[in-house]
Amino acid sequence: MKKGLPVRKKAIFGANQVVHDPARTGAFLQLLLKEKPTTHKQIEDGKRAFAKQHGGHIPQNREILTYAEQHKISIPKATRNLLQKRAVRTISGVSPIGILTKPYACPGKCVYCPTEDRMPKSYMSNQPAAARALRNKFHPFRQVRNRLIALEQSGHPTSKLEVIVMGGTWSFLPTRYQSWYVKRCYDAANIYSGAFGAVTQDNKPPAGYHAPTIKDSQTINETAKSRIIGLTLETRPDFINERELRRMRNYGCTRIEIGVQTLDDDISRLTKRGHYVSHVKKAMRLMKEYGFKVCWHLMPGLPGATPAKDLEMMKEVFTDEDCRPDFIKIYPCVVLNTAELKSWWEEGKYEPYDDATIVRLLMQFKPFIPEYCRVMRLMRDIPVTNILGGAKLSNLRQIINSQPKKLKEVVGEEYWNNTLVPLGYTEKHAPWVCKCVRCREVGFSKKTLTEPVLTRRDYKASGGDEVFLSFESADKSTIYALLRLRKPDESFEPKYFKRVLKGAALIREVHSYGGEVSVGDAKGIGQHRGLGKRLIAEAERIATEEWGLGRMTIIAGVGTREYYRKWGYELQSTYMTKKLS
């Protein structure tokens, strides 16, 4: 470093939290415990008053939580929730950890995807997850470990992890890299508890940790403090085949996200997507017959689309029996600096949807989303400064569901008066009712909780029979737990895992909602109330009494295997399976 230049402190992302002024932090914590605040504002006002009276350092929430942990001080749950950074992060019952693979060439040539030299295709370096990955040099162990540290320091439990691997087309990556990458994710979760000793400077496993193969790492994770209960991989529909699904199962994958974007082949050709509706439907059947949960990425506003055409396309997602995904993410098409689409836009050949058009489209579409589907996102987390043209609102769900004054501002006076006011909208009241799983989860409910009622919905999908079992409130506005059961197409002959798949009913998901409760802790709103056990029992009854099947097979995440063993299931060929009497 040249003499005289200022020293720049290197930010260490995910480093253990330091309590800078323990005495002052402890004093403020005692004040919190005495005052019992009920809102975030009360805590922040208390900090300012405390600083004005005593001067010096104002403790951050993470410091307060760390101090309490270090000194074995119990913080009431209500206060702890207020101190948590983004409490909504674990409100669905698990701790999601998004990580990226390192940049590789992409098989696609989509005109709307940004291209940065040091990032995977379609990602930008200032997106939150991408920025974290870049700081950690895309190393899976570092990414997972640092997210665990950040979650725990923010007051979130870390016993149930949902690892979401992003970075373009997973199936296009070298298989050796895939295996190494996934193994290091399990290693990071296993070692995080400290049971094997300290992590070395180069992030190699400590001497006490012995897991030479990915199966060894998975076996350890079955009973680890931090368990990977779900692994999600992203790929393209045209890369899905039975060999690829076998490899994904060996990694412990339970959910697959595919970039469908549109069901219009003409639009796919125009945008150089490289696959068509036939690829999507073939992939859907294979994924569901192997028990996977499936999430679709949809992109309204592509070149060649219109709002009316997009609405019909999005309705088709659920009216066509060969489609019907379990989850969807909606990413409106926008113009980005390093995408080919930018030149189209500059030349006047393309005009993206603005905020008003997207909001109106989504309001028309959401009533058609069935109760079994979860809308995971309504907008991609692209910084507004990156968007040259197109919708820029990042909180579309909140605006549509609960911010009628803002909604009026976005859609315009004419649409508000002619369309929404007749439906009962006022600037203080939004009579919006969305049926998707995400909008009905108990953790988001502001209603008085009632006794859960067992609910059943049947539908056809990809050649099989699907049953969506759930525990919900009597008025169906709140969902506490769910199970996805499938009776496979009898004509389907699996190439792999035939022993556990052929002639078996498939449980593709079991999920109890409510804030995450660590394994072994007290009951939460939705978790650890026995609802999952009751749903499994009902699924077994349907399989035997109604379908005449003698085996149940569950596509279980590695970290959930111990749970299913309690109900008589055993591990066979990466699945948990049980003979039914």
Domain boundaries, the chain: 22-83, 89-235, 439-579
- The two tokens of residue 114 are 């940004």
**pLDDT confidence tier of residue 84, bands split at 50, 70 and 90:** low
Cα gap 95→527, rounded to integer Å: 14
Buried-state track 160-175, b at ≥16 Cβ within 10 A, e below 16: bbbbbbbbbbbbebee
pLDDT band at 199 (very low <50, low <70, confident <90, very high): low
What pLDDT is stored for residue 13 in this prediction? 37
State residue 3's pLDDT score. 39
- How many CB atoms within 10 Å of residue 217? 26
Please give the structure tokens belonging to residue 5. Answer: 């230049």
Query: Does position 75 have pLDDT exceeding 90, yes or no?
Result: no
Q: Which residues of 236-249 are buried (b: 16+ CB within 10 A; e: fewer)?
A: bbbbbeeebbbbbb
For position 71, what pLDDT does the model report? Answer: 83
Looking at residue 275, its pLDDT comes to: 94
* H/E segment holding residue 189: helix 175-192
Among 306-320, 398-412, 532-546, 563-577, the least confident range: 398-412
Instruction: Give pLDDT, residue 522.
Output: 40
pLDDT score of 195 more than 50: yes
Q: CA 249, CA 229: separation in Å to the nearest integer?
A: 13
Of 348-357, 478-487, 509-518, least confident by mean pLDDT is 509-518
Contact at 8 Å (CB) between 262 and 302?
yes
Burial class (CB in 10 A: 0-12, 13-18, 19+), 126: middle
d(CA 318, CA 279): 17
pLDDT at 1 over 50: no
d(CA 279, CA 283): 6
Looking at residue 7, its pLDDT comes to: 36
Is 423's pLDDT higher than 80?
Answer: yes
Is residue 521 predicted with pLDDT exceeding 70?
A: no
Cα 270 to chain centroid, rounded:
30
The predicted-structure confidence for 365-411, as pLDDT tens digits, reads as follows 988 999 999 999 988 888 889 999 999 988 888 888 889 999 999 99
pLDDT in the model for residue 200: 58
Confidence of residue 519 (pLDDT cuts 50, 70, 90): very low
| CATH number for the domain whose boundaries are 439-579 | 3.40.630.30
For residue 507, what pLDDT is reported?
A: 98
Say which residue, 423 or 341, is predicted with more confidence.
Answer: 341
What pLDDT score does 202 carry? 59
Residues 6+ apart with CB under 8 A from 343: none
Q: What is the pLDDT of residues 239-266, one digit of tens each?
A: 999 999 999 999 999 999 999 999 999 9
- Residue 526, pLDDT > 60, answer no
Task: Name which residue leads in pLDDT, 371 or 519.
Answer: 371
Say how far apart CA 267 and CA 261 lie, in whole Å: 10
Q: How many CB atoms lie within 10 A of CB 519?
A: 18
Tens of pLDDT, residue by residue over 15-71, are 455 677 788 888 888 888 887 887 777 777 777 787 777 776 777 777 787 777 778
Whether the predicted pLDDT of 552 surpasses 50: yes
With a cut of 70, say whether residue 112 has pLDDT above it: yes
pLDDT at position 179 over 90:
yes
The pLDDT of 488-512, averaged and rounded, is 96
Q: E-assigned strands of 279-392?
A: 293-298, 327-330, 335-336, 374-377, 387-389
Count other Cβ atoms within 10 Å, centred on residue 491: 6
Contact 361, 307 (CB under 8 A): yes
- Of all residues in the chain, the percent with pLDDT exceeding 70 is 90
DSSP string, 395-457: -HHHHHHH-HHHHHHHH-HHHIIIIIGGGT-BTTB------SHHHHBGGG--SPP---EEEEE
Number of helices and strands in the chain (H, E):
21, 16
What is the average pLDDT value for the chain, to the nearest integer?
88
Q: Is the pLDDT of residue 91 over 60?
A: no
Structure confidence by residue, pLDDT tens digits, 119-166? 888 888 888 889 999 999 999 999 999 999 888 877 778 899 999 999
Query: How far is Cα 162 from Cα 23, in angstroms, rounded to an integer?
Result: 37
CA 484-486-488 angle, to 5 degrees, is 160
Angle at 514 between CA 230 and CA 485, to 5 degrees: 50
C-alpha–C-alpha distance, residues 288 and 254, integer Å:
11
pLDDT in tens, 259-310: 999 999 999 999 999 999 999 999 999 999 999 999 999 999 999 999 999 9
* The pair of three-digit structure tokens given for residue 110, joined into one six-digit string: 């989509």
> In this predicted structure, what is the pLDDT of residue 486?
98
Spatial CA neighbour of 358 closest among 425, 405, 404, 305:
305
Rounded mean pLDDT of 461-468?
A: 98
Cβ neighbours around 124 below 10 Å, total: 17
Give the number of other CB atoms < 10 A from CB of residue 197.
12
Confidence of residue 567 (pLDDT cuts 50, 70, 90): very high
pLDDT of residue 85: 54
Burial 336-357 (b: 16+ CB within 10 A, else e): beebbbbebbeeeebebbbbeb
Beta strands in 278-405 (DSSP E): 293-298, 327-330, 335-336, 374-377, 387-389
Six-digit token pair at 529?
Answer: 């109330």
